[in-house]
Structure 1
Amino acid sequence: MLKAFAELSTPLVADACVRVGVGLRVAPAGVGPVVAGRRVAGRVLPVRHYGSVDVFLEAFGAAEPGDVLVVDNGGRVDEACLGDLAVLEAKAAGVAGVVVWGLHRDTPELVEIGLPLFSYGALPLGPLRLDEREPEALVTARFGTHLVSAGDVVFGDADGVLFVPAARVDEVLEVAGGIARTERAQAERIRSGDTLRRQTAFDDYLVRRAADPSYSFRQHLRRVGGAIEE
């Protein structure tokens, strides 16, 4: 999955979801890579954290190579829910990355381990609580307002994290690739002096909008083959 995502980005995947009608499930702003430039893509391995590492160890028993551990810690910023030992064990289990709705710790060790990890950031303090575990602890994970499961694929890069149903991934990535090619061609033309306004026939758009206020720029872009808004 990471190979298929290699030439794409989360903005392109998001735009493709809009294009094909896949509901957007984007992680809250602020979730990003611990190490700049790291990317992640793979099937969701969901887990809900309750204060103890045992739930991670249990999840790893069901991991398949290339899975991405998606940790629901409720977006808490008063504790770091995992550190170097849990991430090292994830790597040993064949997990391709970790995405946390919350915080991490042991940053220097995590950098050395090298497994891509996304979170809100770092905090020295680990969990001081032990909450009652829910039956869905290894079935689904909440991430912001969204619920994800092994039926989803997660993508992450410098712009953030989002989730796509596994059944629609091939379609979404194909469309994202088409948008990428269009945008690269547009960018090259701008660099060569052909402005985006000229490429998108922006003056024509203004004339049409004046005659029909309901005519949107997105409609116009679809007509002329632009891709800058979706």
Structure 2
Amino acid sequence: MDSRELQRLYLDLTTPHVADAVMRLGIPVRQAPAGLNALWSETHIVGRVLPAQHAGSVDVFLEAIDNSCPGDVLIVDNSGRTDEACVGDLVTLEASHAGLAGIAIWGLHRDSRELRAIRLPIFSMGTLPAGPQRLEPQSETAIAQARFGDFTVTPDDFVLGDDDGLLAMPLERAADIAEVAVAIRETERRQASFMRSGTSLREQARFADFLSARESEGITFRQHLRRIGGEIEE
């Protein structure tokens, strides 16, 4: 699936709706650490993973970008380090000119003022003035895969990021995930509309029926919601 199709499928989907869809489909949930944030609000990115393992020099980013396709998202693995910033304005400008959809850094950035001017969507664990003071051997898999928090991503994955964080998912399941996420979104929108019109969530979920069924059958609330088609937890 190319970047244009990903953009079309996920344009109006949020990470919470997509995370619920991933869980419902039984796909492992791979979400970035809670400290990862977009540099500005209302950020929304989706694109194929372009991995890069940082070892102290920007050359790995240039090599990754040299092998990129427009719409990719540069995923920077800096092991979550908090003693150095690994992405600044020049790498960001290079990524922007190459047509990348954004950058997500498991680590820190710098040149915040310049990055805001460039306006390429960026997710980062925070900012620090100083760049690396080290230079380590580059891994053989430096542009083939990237570790990001508790999970690993490759170009066989894509990411979705917004104000709630960032998710990584298998590219081959992108259409399935989007279809389920749309259904979840529409269900929640209907529920919210009914609530604004005076019908409580308890009424919509037939909560009294659930309490009775829990007592007699021992079912969970999620099982009850599946019965009535009112999923709000998955």
Shorter-chain TM-score tier? over 0.9
Query: How far does residue 21 in structure 1 lie from its aligned partner after superposition?
Result: 1.3
Query: How far does residue 4 in structure 1 lie from its aligned partner after superposition?
Result: 2.2
CA distance in 1, matches of 2:72, 2:40: 19
Q: Which residue of 176, 183, 189 corresponds with 1:184?
A: 189
Q: Is 1:67 aligned to residue 72 of structure 2?
A: yes
CA distance in 1, matches of 2:104, 2:187: 30
CA distance in 1, matches of 2:206, 2:182: 24
Q: Is 1:201 aligned to residue 206 of structure 2?
A: yes
Instruction: Specify the alignment match of 2:110 in structure 1.
Output: 105
Per-residue CA deviation, residues 90-144 of structure 1 (Å, 9 max, x unaligned), is: 1111111000111100011001001000011111111111112110000000011
CA distance in 1, matches of 2:119, 2:95: 11
- Which letter does structure 2 place at the counterpart of 1:84? D
Instruction: Specify the alignment match of 1:219 in structure 2.
Output: 223
Which has the larger displacement, 125-134 or 152-161? 125-134
Q: Which residue of 160, 167, 186 corresponds with 1:162?
A: 167
Q: Which residue of 35, 41, 46 corresponds with 1:36?
A: 41
- Which letter does structure 2 place at the counterpart of 1:177? V
Q: Is 1:123 aligned to residue 131 of structure 2?
A: no
Instruction: Specify the alignment match of 1:77 in structure 2.
Output: 82
CA distance in 2, matches of 1:80, 1:36: 21
TM-score (normalised: structure 1)? 0.98
Q: Is 1:132 aligned to residue 137 of structure 2?
A: yes
Query: How far does residue 170 in structure 1 lie from its aligned partner after superposition?
Result: 0.4
- Which letter does structure 2 place at the counterpart of 1:217? F
CA distance in 2, matches of 1:69, 1:2: 16
Query: How far does residue 5 in structure 1 lie from its aligned partner after superposition?
Result: 1.5
Q: Which secondary structure state, in structure 1, belongs to the residue aligned with residue 41 of structure 2?
A: coil
- Which letter does structure 1 place at the counterpart of 2:135? L
Q: Is 1:3 aligned to residue 8 of structure 2?
A: yes
CA distance in 2, matches of 1:60, 1:20: 32
Contact 2:39-2:121 at 8 Å conserved across structures? yes
Which has the larger displacement, 30-39 or 194-203? 30-39
Unaligned residue ranges in structure 1 (runs of 5+): none
Question: How many residues are matched?
Answer: 229
Q: What value does the CA root-mean-square deviation take over the aligned residues?
A: 0.8
Q: Which residue of 147, 153, 159 corresponds with 1:142?
A: 147
Per-residue CA deviation, residues 122-172 of structure 1 (Å, 9 max, x unaligned), is: 111111111121100000000111010000000000000010100000000
TM-score (normalised: structure 2)? 0.96
CA distance in 2, matches of 1:124, 1:132: 24
Instruction: Specify the alignment match of 2:56 in structure 1.
Output: 51
CA distance in 1, matches of 2:192, 2:104: 32
Contact 2:39-2:123 at 8 Å conserved across structures? yes
CA distance in 2, matches of 1:186, 1:117: 33
Q: Is 1:228 aligned to residue 232 of structure 2?
A: yes
Identity of aligned residues (%): 52
Instruction: Specify the alignment match of 2:3 in structure 1.
Output: none
